[in-house]
């Protein structure tokens, strides 16, 4: 194992700021600079028969006050429509939805799957928490 000697010094002035090259700043994807994401763990209870499940990209979180939408960014363990995920008979199933951040002033929101056919879900009045991690039962 090799050891290196290092000297740590305090900045010369408290107002000294690190230098960041403007080319580096302009090359960062703006989507990566978002403040936060919202994680929604969805659970489906035991069913008597096997069933099919999927999520539509038109699934949003809607702020109860401003009606601003947080968009679905990513989904884990569930297919996006038009594909289906098969859940075996007697099994419960869980998946994760990741949304863009909610407005800072949001205290309640709805989880809405807007689709052009019957079967979309709408979970109302989810109370916001500090971690922006939620668990909901769909059926």
Q: What is the pLDDT of residue 47?
A: 86
Residue 15 within a domain: no
48-96 pLDDT, tens digit each:
899 999 999 999 999 999 999 999 999 999 999 999 999 999 999 999 9
Domain range for 101 is: 36-137
Q: Are 102 and 38 in contact (CB under 8 A)?
A: yes
Q: Residue 38: is it exposed, middle or buried by C-beta count within 10 angstroms (0-12/13-18/19+)?
A: buried
pTM of the predicted model, to two decimals?
0.74
Percent of the chain's residues with pLDDT above 90: 66
56, part of any domain: yes
Reported as a single tens digit per residue, the pLDDT across 18-41 is 555 666 656 655 555 555 899 999
Does residue 84 sit within a domain?
A: yes
pLDDT of residue 46: 84
Would you say the C-alpha torsion 19, 22, 27, 30 has a positive or negative sign? positive
How many CB atoms are located within 10 Å of the residue 138 CB?
15
CA 43 to chain centre: 15
């Amino acid at each position: 194992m090799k050891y290196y000697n290092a000297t740590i010094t305090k900045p010369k002035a408290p107002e000294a700021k690190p230098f960041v090259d403007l080319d580096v700043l302009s090359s960062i994807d703006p989507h990566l600079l978002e403040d936060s994401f919202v994680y929604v763990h969805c659970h489906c209870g035991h069913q008597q028969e096997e069933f099919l499940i999927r999520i539509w990209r038109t699934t949003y979180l809607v702020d109860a006050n401003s009606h601003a939408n947080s968009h679905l960014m990513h989904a884990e363990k569930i297919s996006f429509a038009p594909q289906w995920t098969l859940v075996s008979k007697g099994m419960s199933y869980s998946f994760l939805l990741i949304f863009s951040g909610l407005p800072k002033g949001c205290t309640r929101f709805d989880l809405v799957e807007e689709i052009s056919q019957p079967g979309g879900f709408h979970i109302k009045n989810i109370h916001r928490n500090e971690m922006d991690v939620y668990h909901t039962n769909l059926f």
